[in-house]
Structure 1
């Protein structure tokens, strides 16, 4: 499993890698994000090309992924700048068409790996057409947060339990593309327990997940992180949980899916009660 950690702080990146993180995630996306997620306690990007350069120097032997903005007039400069600064993987968010995916694949032109972030209902409906570019797509991540907003759902994990992620995963993996989805909290934490979500990662064949802000308690400095979370221990717990599910019979994974679905339905009902009253 690839654990992705979002930061533009070299000291945090070094510390996270030492704790078991195997991909650092520099996030330059800002176009349209406040409009979509302004009401949520969600990550806001403030990262820059200069941050990529600093990160590349700090972690020369660790994978560096950069999320650029959705396709806009500055996309060519942004993609070129990110690759020149040292990005190993370019992530494209909020695409809706195969043409956008093809355009960015053309810009990358084999100089970095390409990871489209599937997070719009339009892209989900058009996934077969998008996957016609499979030879130039190295991996694909399903973003639960924006996808659930786009679908008008109450809770982001409804996308997971409703079968849409499984449908996408099957199509993506059938093209030989590495697949992952969402973010993860610490074991025993999160609106839905992380271990329930990890069981679905294993059942669906996911190979990637983002360590959520809940996981590291919004720490912005190594000192804060050390005080709040034993990061190595918590990552080891995630790995042990994943290995346990991998060794379990498929019936156990189905039982876990049923528990996850029940937990998500409880959360949805609670949200709806709060909204009503």
Structure 2
């Protein structure tokens, strides 16, 4: 599983990539985000084009830039991200295929384009979106929970939503975020990691929990330890996979009736 670290700290980012992570994410998304996520305790970054250029100079790892959701500003943001050396642009809060098609036109093959499925509209359109020439597709649980007016962050991982989206995506697929083995709260990170492996997740993010858990630790020890734990999970026998899945569902706290229900077909929006 490829791991991408959110950071604009050159030394820290370079060390984490050198230790085995795949790349860095520089995060420009903030238009409307404070209002959308008011009171949610989520992370809102204030990264800049200068940060992107500095991280490009600091590491040869793959460099992703999350821009703002589609709008009149997208063309300028795409041009700046390309000019600062982004290997890929990540388009958040997708709702329509037209937004993605227009952004692909703006990118014009100069770098890759990935999207975040974090609205119910995008969940419904997952199959259509996956037919676009995208470099990756990521399900964003925080904003999807807010868009659904839900109080359960991990519900899409147990009610069939993520599994159904995963089945429709042929591009590299990501969901959730990871931290060090033994970390994670309120859902143990080891159980979340097992669930991501069970789903065939191709990449995930290292964010606040990982950075906090890494305090005073050596990335050249801890990143290989995390990667080794993911490798071990991939070779687990079916009985262990099922047992960890059951423990994950119990830790999430969603009723067994929801977790055991058949995965619904994703309806097309009117």
Q: Secondary structure at the match of 2:13?
A: helix
Name 2:200's counterpart in structure 1: 205
Q: TM-score, normalised by structure 1?
A: 0.87
In terms of mean alpha carbon deviation, does 9-18 or 89-98 score higher? 9-18
Name 2:258's counterpart in structure 1: none
Name 1:64's counterpart in structure 2: 63
Q: Which of 243, 246, 254 does residue 255 from structure 1 map onto?
A: 243
In terms of mean alpha carbon deviation, does 147-156 or 26-35 score higher? 147-156
Mapped partners of 2:157, 2:85: distance in 1: 33
Mapped partners of 1:262, 1:208: distance in 2: 24
Mapped partners of 1:120, 1:180: distance in 2: 15
Name 1:23's counterpart in structure 2: 23
Whether the 8 Å contact between 1:216 and 1:231 is mirrored in structure 2 is: no
- Give unmatched runs, 5+ long, in structure 1: 219-224, 268-277
Tell me by how many angstroms 1:226 deviates. 5.1
- How is 1:1-277 mapped onto 2 (pairs within 5 angstroms)? 1-59=1-59, 61-133=60-132, 136-172=133-169, 176-190=170-184, 191-217=186-212, 227=216, 229-265=217-253
Whether the 8 Å contact between 2:15 and 2:219 is mirrored in structure 1 is: no
Mapped partners of 1:4, 1:63: distance in 2: 9
Tell me by how many angstroms 1:20 deviates. 2.3
Mapped partners of 1:217, 1:132: distance in 2: 37
Whether the 8 Å contact between 2:30 and 2:45 is mirrored in structure 1 is: yes
Tell me by how many angstroms 1:199 deviates. 1.1
Tell me by how many angstroms 1:145 deviates. 0.9
Whether the 8 Å contact between 2:158 and 2:254 is mirrored in structure 1 is: no
Whether the 8 Å contact between 1:115 and 1:137 is mirrored in structure 2 is: yes
In terms of mean alpha carbon deviation, does 103-112 or 244-253 score higher? 244-253
Q: TM-score, normalised by structure 2?
A: 0.89
Whether the 8 Å contact between 1:140 and 1:179 is mirrored in structure 2 is: yes
Tell me by how many angstroms 1:266 deviates. 7.3
Name 2:262's counterpart in structure 1: none
Whether the 8 Å contact between 1:23 and 1:65 is mirrored in structure 2 is: yes
Q: Secondary structure at the match of 1:217?
A: helix
> How many residue pairs end up in the alignment?
254
Name 2:267's counterpart in structure 1: none
Structure (1/2) with the larger helix percentage: 1
Q: Secondary structure at the match of 1:91?
A: strand
Mapped partners of 2:82, 2:110: distance in 1: 7
Name 2:259's counterpart in structure 1: none
- Give unmatched runs, 5+ long, in structure 2: 256-270
Mapped partners of 2:163, 2:215: distance in 1: 36
